[in-house]
Chain A
Amino acid sequence: MRRILTSKWTKVVVFLLCLVPFFSLVDRSLHNRLGANPVEFLQHATGDWILRFLVFTLAITPLRKLLNQPDLIRFRRMLGLFAFFYACLHFLTYLGPDQSFDLSAMWKDVAKRPFITVGFLGFVLLIPLALTSTTGWIRRLGGKRWQMLHRAVYISAIAGVVHYYWLVKSDVRKPLFYGSLVAILLLWRLGSWISRRRSQAPVRVAAPGISVSS
């Protein structure tokens, strides 16, 4: 298992797999198979893939611990960047076909409609994370600060789910599906944070003079 996870080829394979949805959309576009409302098809497909990649990204840490496979970390940056890649495409289908590339109209829409506001927030939050995803930036910011910054992905994922929930008219099954996945992944983090604090608590009692940073 370790050998597979650490192989350079696995990374290449995962990278290509992440591009399959993109090329499938390109293929559909070229062959006129996007249905009666092609713009909506592209918006929904890219939107779905953002949420899926955010879920994949957020699942890495729990899976590393639960499966005892620390090498899974090698894929987290790539999955996160693919979430950003599909988010860029999603944003372009909005800025272009919906807003005719009119930035002032776009800002009005972002300000006026909560469902757009929250989706836009989720997208904008991903930009600094994508920019600081390099090893150089991790060094420059320092591990701790970098990690703090990258917790913004939690907000981005929640914003994405709310955006989807506010979009649908009455059938909320799919937004609730993504919502529960995100909730499970975030609650797992909360749980492990609480249990870490608890396990540190006896130290506090035993030696009150030592300040414990969490």
Chain B
Amino acid sequence: MLIRRASDLTYADVTPRSVYLDRRNFLRAMGIVGATAVAGNGLFELVSPSQEAFAATKFTGLAKSPLSTTEKQNTFEDVAHYNNFYEFGTDKGDPAKNSKNFNTSSWSVSVEGEVKKPRKFTVDEILKIAPLEERIYRHRCVEAWSIVVPWIGFSFSNLIQLVEPTPKAEFVAFQSYFDPQQMPQAKYAGIDFPYVEGLRMDEAMNPLALLCVGMYGETLPNQDGAPVRMVLPWKYGFKSIKSLVKIKFQQKLPPTTWNRMAPNEYGFYSNVNPSVDHPRWTQSKERRLGEIFKRPTLMFNGYGEQVASLYNGMDLKKNY
């Protein structure tokens, strides 16, 4: 099997897709004319039409992954316009609108803490860590909706091996980018920023844990966590931290944003578990975007074969 390494690809290697984007903007503007009559908020959009994914780069030569599901994928439109990214606003449509000018150039991810080789990675360097794969995962939000997304990236374990954690590294702490200037809506979100998340070391080493740089064959749109994020398909979506800037290996269990906000509602593990309800709503069912009725939620979001052994002997009702 020939797997083309991504080493010949740089993040700045922009294929602008200008024609394609223009067409999309034109169509959207036309749609907004019609919607303005009812919605009344499209006027601003007309004046300055949406220009999303200003540097969307297409990836080529992606390897297929045996971890991919064959379920029907959601559309790019849905995945890029129905987001929880509270730094850019709390309505599902806010992140797409408010992250248009989010500047992700000259990005770096600092890897530090209990590692022999702490270092900063540029996005170009991250792209060269391992061959890029397309991974089609189910993604289950704690709000009981779900999507199927073709992500692009590689197992996070590749990065771990590169920085050589010390025996003291028991947990990995993640931190998102935060800039109140670029994210003025964040002050209304009701949660503290920067957003932080964490994993136990064995969870982070699991092949399913994806360091993600793209979706649908191209770089991540800003609202989906550009330029680099985590994807942890057996956990609720909020564990899959977006727009990563810091990864710290440490001995203590790291604090996590939603757990800090409401510890009775969001645990450290937050594994998808249909038998442990959110105190305010059921987790036994979910609505797949594009469907009307709800479908049953699967234990570990259907990834039990890969991850159930991580939690042997643990009471998942207590460690929710």
| A interface residues, Cβ below 8 angstroms from B | 24, 27-28, 31, 33, 35-40, 96-98, 100, 109, 112-115, 166-173
Range of interface residues on chain B? 20 to 34
Interface of B is mostly: loop
List B contacts of A173 (CB < 8 A).
188
Contacting residue for A166 out of B38, B145, B191, B280, CB 8 A: B280
Chain A residue at minimum C-beta to C-beta distance from B292: A97
Q: A115–B280 contact, CB under 8 A? A: yes
Which residues does chain A contribute within 8 Å of B85, judged by CB atoms? none
Given contacts A40-B145, A115-B280, A170-B90, contact A33 B188 (CB under 8 A): no
Q: Say whether A35 contacts B93, CB under 8 Å.
A: yes
Instruction: Determine if B289 and A27 form an interchain contact, defined as CB atoms under 8 angstroms apart.
Output: no
Instruction: Tell me whether chain A's interface is mostly helix, strand or loop, or mixed.
Output: helix
Chain A residue at minimal CB-CB distance from B145 = A37
Supposing A28-B38, A36-B92 touch, asked if A170 and B81 sit within 8 A by C-beta, the answer is no
Contacts of B281 in A (CB 8 A): 113, 115
B82, CB-defined interface residue at 8 Å: yes
Interface centre among B81, B82, B143, B282 (most CB of A within 10 A): B282
Determine whether the beta carbon of B280 is less than 8 Å from that of A170.
Answer: no
Given A36-B81, A37-B82, A37-B289, do A171 and B282 touch, yes or no (CB 8 Å)?
Answer: no
B3 at the A/B interface (Cβ < 8 Å)?
no
B38 touches A114 (CB 8 A): no
Residues of chain B from 35 to 67 with CB closer than 8 A to chain A in the complex: 35, 38
Q: Does B174 belong to the interface (CB within 8 Å)?
A: no
A171 to B84, CA, bound (A): 12
List 21 A–B pairs whose Cβ atoms lie within 8 Å, in order of A's numbering: A28-B38, A35-B81, A35-B93, A36-B92, A36-B289, A39-B292, A40-B92, A40-B145, A40-B287, A97-B287, A97-B292, A97-B294, A100-B293, A100-B294, A113-B281, A166-B280, A167-B280, A168-B90, A169-B90, A170-B90, A171-B86
Say yes or no: A170 contacts B190, CB within 8 Å.
Answer: yes
Residues of chain A contacted by B190 (CB below 8 angstroms) = 169-172
CB distance from B281 to the nearest CB of A (A): 6
Which chain A positions have C-beta within 8 A of B31?
Answer: 33
Shortest C-beta distance, B142 to chain A (Å), equals 8
* Residue of chain A at shortest CB distance from B191: A170
- A170-B287 in contact (CB<8A): no
Q: CB-CB < 8 A to A24: which residues of B?
A: 38
**A97: nearest residue on chain B (CB-CB)?**
B292
Interface centre among A24, A33, A37, A40 (most CB of B within 10 A): A37
C-alpha spacing A27/B31, complex, angstroms? 13
